[in-house]
Structure 1
Amino acid sequence: MVGRAVGVLRSKLGMCAVLCVGIVLFATAHSRQAVAAEVNSRNTVQQFDIPSQPLSGALKDFALAAGLQLSFNDDLAAGRVSPDVRGSYTNEQALQLLLAGSGLTYRFSGGDTVIVERDSSSGIVPGMVGAGAAGAAAGAAAGMTATVQKPVKVPEIMVKDVKERDNDTKSYVAEEANTATRTDTPIKDVPQSIQVITRKVIEEQRTFRLQNTLENISGINATESGASLYDSLIIRGFTATDRSYFRNGLIDPFAQFTASDTYNIRRIEVLKGPASVLYGQGDPGGVINLVTNRPLPNAAYMANVTLGNFNFYRSELDATGPLNASKTVMYRLNVAGQKAHSFIDYANRDLAAIAPAVTWLMGSRTTLTVEADYLRRWSNDPYGLPAQGSYLPNINGPIPRERSVTLGPFSTFNRTSYRVGYDLTHQFNNDWSIRNAYRHTIAEDDRNNLYASGTTLDPDERTLQRFQVLQPAVNRRHAHSMITNLVGHLRFLEMDHTLLTGFELRQEKVDQFQFQFDAAPPLDLFAPNYGLPPLPFTNPPSSLTGDTQTAGFYAQDQITILPQLKLLAGLRFDYVHQSTNNSPGGTQPDQKADNNAVSPRVGVVYSPIEPWSLYASWTRGFQPNSPSNFNPNGDLFKPERSTQYEIGTKYFFLDNRVSATLAWYHLTRENLLTPSPDPAQAVQGFSVQTGEQRSQGIELDVTAQLTSGWNVIASYAYTDAEVTKDNTPALVNQRLSNVPYNKMTLWSTYYFQEGALKGFGAGGGIFAYTGRNATIFDPTLPEIPGYVRADGALYYNHELQPGNWLGAKMLNIAVNMRNLLDQRYVATSYNGSNQFFFGEPRTVLATVGLRF
């Protein structure tokens, strides 16, 4: 018995010894890491531009520029004015310059935290200089109460956000993207393909439309004209519907119908594949998240004017800065106005937009941003041309690229969107934070919108039969969206965890949507007469109302199993209630449907060496079917389901100045509706749920800042997308429309950094597509031929001398040229139909901008 006790005691002592040794080793390693982090924080070289101002404001500017947490008592800096600190310094050098002669000193704590306090050895009482006896009394009071005053600390989320915004305007490379995990996770640690277009790409390419900007990303193709009122895109072979568009992490259900403008967009993040685990019902190809501009603590202003052919005129304004001396309240204002025709007759592209935002640093750990957005488009939405004369021979010759099939001056299609919302974040401590965000969106179509489109081409191959559509009343839709996310970092079972839990509430409601269909006057494509008025409408109006309500709860854990091995697992539960009335005159009772779905995601990332990671993932998605679809047995259709398997590799090297992602994926879309196999039921519009489509391929995306002034963005995609199951045998094995087997893009810019050409730059690129299937519903049409388009640009950036009569800091001049060789090519078919859009002819845009 005694021997057994002694043995147990020895065992316990041995365990304690091992534990003690482990604690000592861990403490030593942790201490070394802390020392290394502190050395890095002290010696990191930054570019500082901190003007002379009250010392408290200068210290906050320093924290934001250096990416450090700065803690100090506001009263200690009272009455002091900082000197200018401009140029390249280490963080410690810049801080020493700011505090010189102030009677304050500093110390680093925890690597990235700096504490500013009174320097008792200096003999100077902070707040006393220049303030007389009152200042001395105030300074003495500040010193007496320093131990009880709450320190002022720049919120960590604000520091990180400002630094990221600055990077987005200087480089093509993004290291992190919140869209993939709703947490701040490096892209290399995400087991799914995610691509980012930064503000620098948008500005250097001068792309105002989403589809032009996203052309830089592999696996994305457009299905609309660049002059259209809509954003219609394909991601990984599948159409992106209104479920695919997000703004600052909240669904933006009407973005597709108002053609998002880039005037207030800081970056665009695209997460490839099903994303229902975080975003609920959606399309299998992926989600597009637009990240808007936010207020900055330092005053900055930018204005530019762009002129181009096809009577293009555009002006933009961007202003930001503090609204109070302590810089705890900041604003941002983006404004854009555009008056423009297009290469298509009568297809104007007029726009007015304004986006104000205000950020309030409510405390050391709490930030509130309130923002709004107004976008108005005046348009005559163009529709496509027949194949004969666009890319097939026509007995009358080629159809002119500028030909419009609308009703000319009688056609209008104007639309307005309004957004208003808030984003509230709070850090409980260094490990736990919460975010609550809400947005209300309204989209309106004007009263008496009228447009026309072609149906069939007569045997003479010049007379196009058309139909016309009238929206006799103001059509209105509105949406509410709210998310609440709780993010925490903890250690459990000897592994680090980043835990995300959250819930989401949505409502999208069609208040009124009325329209009338009827025949339109035929159009001679080679001698059009746009003076013919629209024909009278004899068919009764149809109406549509609808309401979709969604509640979702999700949980996700990012686990660091080993330093080189990370696991991501997530699960979401959704409940969706739909009601719709889609009947002539709106006299039929509402049709309702209730759906629920569970969406999982599992992924693993292995990094054999620091800049290189390998990953694999499995994701599921869902999309409810409309309750207005007809099922022969009277039951509601189950939701569509999508499943993706993806493996790939990511590589960040040259100090994260080069990013590359190579991915292979296999993506299946199931439970698609297909006509009933019973001909009698099919004639009546009944469907069955047996359809399936599959897309698989390889994608490569590269962004790089190879040297100072040289940036590159490139992509390649091989996409094999086809119908795999359908009750119409002719559709099986058909390639999905508008999806090329191969797509390749390359864009690069270079700015001279010294010598006589300093400030000058040039850029250019190629965008190449192989042939695409025009439509799966007409096997007689051959595929759309491939094409290669070349673009170019010239730049001149000149720093202006201080005190110039404009008061500006920088002059920017750019000339962008699209389709340099003026090639005639068909860019796409209209949503997979037998109507086709030409690509833009040679387009030149000249921009002059000033930064203040």
Structure 2
Amino acid sequence: MKLQKLLQILFVSGSTWIIVMNAAIAAATPSGREREDLHSQIVTGEIANLNELKLPATTAKMLVQTPTNSPNTGEAIAITSVKANPSEKGVEIILETTLGDKLQVANRSTGNNFVADITGGQLRLASGEAFTFRSEKPLVGITEITVTNSDANTVRVTVVGEKALPAVELFDDNAGLIFAVASTEVATQPPQKPPASEKPATQTPQETPTAQPDDPIELVVTGELSGYRVPNTTTGTRTDTPLRDIPQSIQIVPQEVLRDQQVTRLDDALRNVAGVIAEFNAGPAVYYKIRGFGVADNSLLRDGLPDPGVGDSVELANVERIEVLKGPASVLFGLGSPGGSINIVTKRPLSEPFYEVDASIGSYSFYRGAIDFSGPLNESKTALYRFNAAYRNSGSFIDFSNSESLSLSPVVSLAIGERTKLTLGVDYIETRDSGKGFGVPTVGTIFPNPNGKIPRNRNLTEPTDNVDGTTVRAGYELEHKFNDNWSLTNAFRYGSRSYYSTETRPDSLDADNRTISRSFSIYDNKFTSYTLTTNVVGKFSTGSIKHQLLFGVDLNRSIGAVPRYASGDAAPIDIFNPIYGQPSGPFTFEASNKAATDSFGIYLQDQIALTEKLKVLLGARFDGFRQNSQDFIANTESSQSDSALSPRFGIVYQPIPPVSLYASYISSFTPARGTFLFGANLDTLFEPERGRQFEVGVKADLNDRLSATLALYDLTRTNVLVTDPNNEDFQIQTGEQNSRGVELSLAGEILPGWNISAGYAYTDARITKDTTFDVGSRLESVPDHSFNVWTTYEIQKGDLKGLGFGLGLFFVGDRPGNLQNTYDIPSYLRTDASIFYKRDRFQVGLNFKNLFDREYSEIGYFGGRVGYGQPFTVQGTVSLQF
């Protein structure tokens, strides 16, 4: 143990020193603005290689007249990102790559078009996925700028001038290749400052470009972005919208963070989101709270469609990123929880061949293998595929607790003509959990026990307990573009989640403080869902006001069935000297029921740009549902129906392009469904839950590298479902709860190679009206304060290029263990770390969780029990692309 502690201290000290020193060196390195002029290196007959050039770039006409060296014959170099930054003369298009000196540029002109072919390169994300870049009318006199893969070994940059050949300069920078594009007005006449009283004339987009040199650039990117910062999302509006234009807080865990942390479970990924915590609930899964309120099944989304009944059976092998929408989302996604929604965005087929194999091994017999294969199925690339598969087998620090899972996820995308695309996908997941722990008493963990401290590996269930689950999804997405402004999307998904469990659960501790009573149950649960959604998106203008209109219809059917649930008393056990395998008593309670919920929703949304600085979001949705339920034991049937109109309003003001001030109001509406349709007596239907939220905030994009959001909110919900204090297998409905708080998030790149993802949440969540619990009581498992910081630094130059280090801090404050507020679960600070090496298509890494082996209680259970957090663990991963 002393050696282990020494290694841990040395690791943190060394990593911190290297991160600080390299960051300091990077900060002292001249920026791209200080690069040397390329002009003196242009000679008649050829352009020198970029690594030989000393001085600024060249204009388009000079480059057009100059031939280039012979093409590269080696493997294509990845250009991992394309960015657009405003400049004094126009805009700079940055093609990010660490091997820019090995690329060669051939240039030509066709009419008013400047074309540069970059030989030896490919637009390819860190994940291997190809993408394209397009900016429409970014400057006066410039119609369009595109960056695309011309073939398997060439990237083409095209700048289309409106009336003349554009002026383009080429720079070689540490970040990659930079094309500086000037406005044709800037290029053809000396710059003139207009009088203060003059204003540009209002012109329609059809006549002349509306963008000015300092305006923000509107990007259209096909594929996924790399890095810690994701600028656009569809989760907040169901349209591809910049985060800064959405008047609601959204936080994204991108692929780069998932890879750097080597995340394999959803709960580990969500540690990176401010205000999200895991909570225990009945059944085989871990569920989550956002802004103090539980996320119900119908607020778990996959590619924007409801994905109910999955719990923690989310395999991340085919996940591109995780998007968390804070607050109600009923206007977009229908019957959902007011706390927020979790949208799992999956990987899509690629147009270029991509093959990746991952292998991981870690503490407590953790083994995992995964493959990610993708590419075209025909020469014309109209048929693409992607196949993800993963197998995991792991033990646990908890005695005789094991977990095993297998997932298979094939996807096929078909181009049907130039304007229509059909995507077909299937997921199949099998899980098996053995000896799943249900926590240990607070007396002996949080509070002293005269018999001693309960060890954190203690399991008070039985080695024979099992939970076997199967999840199946199948569906399609059909996209059709009528023209550049109008499109239609139709999607369908079938989902099935079934599990059969035999579980022994600890209950209350006897007066001797060492004997605990237990119960035994068998649970057969089946959940099936059908979702069909159709929406139309259109862009148009009314005078100078721009609109993006969304109209859609959703149809949903879900069936939750419990063929059999039975429970009885199990033999008590000594928590300090457990003897397993004692016989259980007879079943004393049985239940069998089924509930079907049919819902219909119609919604309308308008994103209105009144001016370049002032934007309004208006939306409304009408929902109706009907539930039919059967209690097979009592031989009774019942039904209920309801409907609601859910409005949404938001406003965004951008005093300068990188900063957005916003305010919004939104409401939610959702019925009880599935397992928790009934109360404990199985004959009382729950009322629909309703919610409403007010939110104000500030969003900022700092140098197109860092994004920050500060949000203040007030969220109220009524008819809340909570665990029945007399029976953890059922729920009861309380009156009203309120959550108000402050959230701060930060994500992106501080310096080249230095990335950060951080968040802080202050959450004051309390009962405001109730007949069962005291008004003013804090909501269980919700800390007042929590924060997360994860940062990595990767060396950019020299012999150690590709070597990197990561450091993470995760803090959760004191939180109530129950709604009665009889005890608090203590706060904790967990430290994680990593060391990795990335080189071309090879990556190897070591990840350390709970680096200082801090003993803490992570989660609260029914009946005054807590679950220990993981002790010090190590996980090693090797990834190979070919």
Match of 2:504 among 452, 455, 458: 452
Which has more helix, going by share of residues? Answer: 1
In 2 relative to 1, CA 701–355 (structure 1 residues): closer, same or farther, beyond 3 Å?
A: same
Matched residues in 1 for 2:765 and 2:850: separation?
28
Q: Deviations over 1:786-828 (max 9, x none)?
A: 11110000001123xxxxxxxxxx2211000000000110012
- Give 1:262 shift: 1.1
In 2 relative to 1, CA 590–371 (structure 1 residues): closer, same or farther, beyond 3 Å?
A: same
| Residue 181 of structure 1 pairs with residue 212 of structure 2 | no
Partner of 2:133: 67
Letter in 1 for 2:630: N
Q: Deviations over 1:341-368 (max 9, x none)?
A: 1111122121111100001111211111
State the SS of the aligned residue for 2:588.
Answer: coil
Partner of 2:264: 208
Match of 2:792 among 724, 730, 749: 749
Partner of 1:350: 404
- Give 1:477 shift: 2.0
Partner of 1:400: 455
Matched residues in 2 for 1:499 and 1:546: separation?
36
- Does the aligned pair in 1 maintain the 2:299–2:340 contact within 8 Å? yes
State the SS of the aligned residue for 2:267.
Answer: helix
| Residue 483 of structure 1 pairs with residue 556 of structure 2 | no
- Does the aligned pair in 2 maintain the 1:297–1:322 contact within 8 Å? yes
- Does the aligned pair in 1 maintain the 2:535–2:551 contact within 8 Å? yes
| Residue 837 of structure 1 pairs with residue 881 of structure 2 | no
Matched residues in 2 for 1:686 and 1:359: separation?
43
Match of 1:85 among 145, 153, 157: 153
Match of 2:307 among 247, 252, 265: 252
Matched residues in 1 for 2:672 and 2:494: separation?
25
Matched residues in 2 for 1:378 and 1:687: separation?
26
| Residue 623 of structure 1 pairs with residue 670 of structure 2 | yes
Matched residues in 2 for 1:162 and 1:44: separation?
14
State the SS of the aligned residue for 1:171.
Answer: coil
Match of 2:753 among 701, 709, 722: 709
Q: Deviations over 1:652-698 (max 9, x none)?
A: 121x210000000001112447999xxxxx99x99998711110000
Match of 2:707 among 659, 683, 687: 659
Match of 1:826 among 857, 864, 871: 857
State the SS of the aligned residue for 1:391.
Answer: coil
Letter in 2 for 1:740: P
Bigger Cα displacement from structure 2, 315-324 vs 634-643 = 634-643
| Residue 440 of structure 1 pairs with residue 494 of structure 2 | yes
Letter in 2 for 1:236: R
Match of 1:791 among 816, 827, 832: 832
Letter in 1 for 2:448: P
In 2 relative to 1, CA 672–307 (structure 1 residues): closer, same or farther, beyond 3 Å?
A: closer
Matched residues in 2 for 1:836 and 1:688: separation?
22
- Give 1:46 shift: 6.1
Letter in 1 for 2:814: G
In 2 relative to 1, CA 43–214 (structure 1 residues): closer, same or farther, beyond 3 Å?
A: closer
In 2 relative to 1, CA 846–588 (structure 1 residues): closer, same or farther, beyond 3 Å?
A: same
Partner of 1:386: 441
Letter in 2 for 1:481: T
Match of 1:528 among 535, 553, 578: 578
Matched residues in 2 for 1:649 and 1:566: separation?
14
| Residue 773 of structure 1 pairs with residue 803 of structure 2 | no
Pairwise mapping of residues 225-240 of structure 1 onto structure 2 (< 5 A)? Answer: 229-240=284-295
Partner of 1:668: 716
Pairwise mapping of residues 110-121 of structure 1 onto structure 2 (< 5 A)? Answer: none
| Greater radius of gyration (CA) | 1
- Does the aligned pair in 2 maintain the 1:43–1:91 contact within 8 Å? no
In 2 relative to 1, CA 538–721 (structure 1 residues): closer, same or farther, beyond 3 Å?
A: closer
Pairwise mapping of residues 458-477 of structure 1 onto structure 2 (< 5 A)? Answer: 458-471=510-523, 475-477=525-527
Q: Normalized against structure 1, the TM-score is what?
A: 0.77
- Does the aligned pair in 1 maintain the 2:135–2:220 contact within 8 Å? no
Partner of 2:601: 552
| Residue 609 of structure 1 pairs with residue 656 of structure 2 | yes
In 2 relative to 1, CA 378–488 (structure 1 residues): closer, same or farther, beyond 3 Å?
A: same
State the SS of the aligned residue for 2:286.
Answer: coil
Match of 1:648 among 677, 697, 705: 697
Matched residues in 1 for 2:442 and 2:123: separation?
61
Pairwise mapping of residues 9-158 of structure 1 onto structure 2 (< 5 A)? Answer: 45=95, 65-68=131-134, 85=153, 90-91=157-158
Match of 1:577 among 608, 620, 626: 626
- Give 1:60 shift: 14
Partner of 1:586: 633
Match of 1:764 among 786, 797, 807: 807
Q: Deviations over 1:457-495 (max 9, x none)?
A: 011111110001113xx5422110111110000112531
Percent same amino acid among aligned pairs? 37
In 2 relative to 1, CA 82–659 (structure 1 residues): closer, same or farther, beyond 3 Å?
A: closer
In 2 relative to 1, CA 631–392 (structure 1 residues): closer, same or farther, beyond 3 Å?
A: closer
Q: Deviations over 1:706-725 (max 9, x none)?
A: 22221100000000001111
- Does the aligned pair in 2 maintain the 1:224–1:837 contact within 8 Å? no
Matched residues in 2 for 1:176 and 1:186: separation?
4
Q: Deviations over 1:375-419 (max 9, x none)?
A: 1111023212111112111111111111112111x1111101001
Partner of 2:484: 430
Matched residues in 2 for 1:586 and 1:468: separation?
20
In 2 relative to 1, CA 321–689 (structure 1 residues): closer, same or farther, beyond 3 Å?
A: closer
State the SS of the aligned residue for 1:399.
Answer: coil
- Does the aligned pair in 1 maintain the 2:132–2:221 contact within 8 Å? no
In 2 relative to 1, CA 195–709 (structure 1 residues): closer, same or farther, beyond 3 Å?
A: same
Letter in 1 for 2:768: T
Aligned-residue RMSD, C-alpha: 3.4
Matched residues in 2 for 1:200 and 1:689: separation?
41
| Residue 279 of structure 1 pairs with residue 333 of structure 2 | yes
Stretches of structure 1 that go unaligned for 5 or more consecutive residues are: 1-35, 52-57, 71-80, 94-110, 112-158, 677-681, 800-809
Matched residues in 2 for 1:345 and 1:364: separation?
58
| Residue 598 of structure 1 pairs with residue 640 of structure 2 | no
- Give 1:619 shift: 0.6
In 2 relative to 1, CA 323–717 (structure 1 residues): closer, same or farther, beyond 3 Å?
A: same
State the SS of the aligned residue for 1:590.
Answer: strand
In 2 relative to 1, CA 450–66 (structure 1 residues): closer, same or farther, beyond 3 Å?
A: closer
- Does the aligned pair in 1 maintain the 2:121–2:153 contact within 8 Å? no
Bigger Cα displacement from structure 2, 664-673 vs 383-392 = 664-673
Which has more strand, going by share of residues? Answer: 2
- Give 1:425 shift: 0.5
